[in-house]
Amino acid sequence: MGTTQHRSAPTRRSRLTGIFAFAATAGLVTATGVAFALSTTADDDVPSGCIGDECPEEWLPPHNGDFSGTDAAVNVFAGGDFTVENAAAESEGLLVVLGDAHIDLVNRVYNIGVVGVGSRVPPPDGTDHFIVGGDLAINPGSRIILGGIDTSGRFISGNVAYGGAKNFTDDQVDVAPGTVRQDPEAVEPYLDLPALVTERSQCVAESEATGQVVEEFGTAQFIGDGESNPQVFEIDERLPSVGTQNMMIEFVDVPAGATIIVNVLGTDVDLALDSPALDPELAQRVLWNIPAASDVNIHGFAQLPGSILVARSDSSTRIDLPGTNGRVLVAGDLIHGGRSFGSEMHSYPFTGQLPDCDENGDENGDENGDVNGDVNGDVNGDENGDENGDENGDVNGDVNGDVNGDVNGDENGDVNGDVNGDENGDVNGDVNGDENGDVNGDENGDSLPDTGGSLAVLAAVGLMALGAGAVALLSGRRRHALHS
């Protein structure tokens, strides 16, 4: 009988949102979901779905057939350095490295962007497929190849951009008809990504476990509760927990279509994994989340389903698998190894749901405004803002909040700003007026900047009065009913 690992994570007040996405735009129109990318601005959601107007309707298991579409999203990201060694063979999709890139192969070829076997969904034709912020070095006798052709004759080319020193010869980079350029600015859109990866990973790590991991007879069964979405599991640093045998991955009692989160805890992570044939639909909704490790080693004989997040910027992650199948987003260094076989990182999107740990407005509450209340804003009232108002608050109360405390909110205004437009006020300011937001105006938020503003405020006050009357009427009826 194997051992059972199950530990509840600390509960984080969170809500589910849709797909987290990086989008990419590099002189091309992109944006399926949220955007990140090939040469403009990175948004704050990770990991991503497919980006662009050629996303395939169906993602196939790894194959060497025709291209089924293109994807402008970042598939592999290293916030530190990126090293390729041993028998590593391919990185499919857009590859971005903030530090230096070292192709330390010995008389071998490494494919980037377009690969021989993968999802066959490369980045768009003619865009940057490989971006390096620092130096790019390629061992003598080895090459990198970008671009390729499918059986229909369609050719997709890619470019290389690097910011530091050129430690390679021209014939070591095969990009025709693409280009190779020294461009320190190419990496600028991605400079915030390590912090975003860290934030997202640590947020996801606070999700409470809904299932358990049972090791038995060489198989790690991730046994769900049969109903939750997402399904959340935890591993303490190692799998297997004892010994070195590669563990076959199996998901049990997981509802169809549910997101699967595997939080791998601890500072020294070692995963020895095997897997059945890849299910590309499953791969798109699995996340392997590593929030605290400085050393990460993922190896074995698996075609690993799912995306990988590694949070720490001082971390080193080594991948020695036949294949990863999802986004690989590492805040620190990334080493693509491979032992006696070719190791490939295949491009598949993440389409699952993850918790949103927004610290500035949470439907279950945080320090800046909350439906159920906190120190700064409370529907039911507190010292700084209650339903009857106070010197700094509003009708429903929040020093800096809005009518609802701030469900979505921002710390200095309401959901839509401020009807009367003051930086510290609320939708109605304060029925009775105060120094931070006054229906009748003051130096920080004057509701009467012009005739249109006056009418807007009067209308707002009128609506509030009607609302208060309705509440009083209902309250009276309730009291009457109770005494009847």
Query: What is the pLDDT, as a whole number, of residue 46?
Result: 87
Quick: pLDDT tens for 94-121: 999 999 999 999 999 999 999 999 999 9
Contacts of 38 (CB under 8 A, 6+ apart): 24, 25, 26, 27, 28, 30, 72, 94, 123, 124, 127, 128
Do you find a cis peptide bond into 177, omega within 30 degrees of 0? yes
Average pLDDT over residues 9-36: 33
Contacts of 277 (CB under 8 A, 6+ apart): 61, 303
Rounded to an integer, what distance in angstroms lies between the CA atom of residue 213 and that of residue 282?
A: 18
In three-state secondary structure terms, 281 is helix
Q: Are 38 and 25 in contact (CB under 8 A)?
A: yes
Residues of the chain above pLDDT 70, percent: 64
CA distance 284 to 349: 6
Task: Place 357 in a pLDDT band, splitting at 50, 70 and 90.
Answer: confident
* Domain layout of the chain by residue ranges: 4-356, 363-484
pLDDT tens-digit map of 223-245: 999 999 999 999 999 999 999 89
In the chain, the amino acid numbered 431 is V
Cis bond before residue 355 (omega within 30° of 0): no
Start-end of H helices in 63-129? none
Chain centroid to Cα 97, Å, comes to: 17
Q: What mean pLDDT comes out for the span 386-411?
A: 40
- Banded model confidence at residue 264, pLDDT cuts 50, 70, 90: very high
Band (446; pLDDT cuts 50, 70, 90): very low
User: At residue 221, does pLDDT exceed 90?
Assistant: yes
Which residues make beta-bridge pairs with 404? none
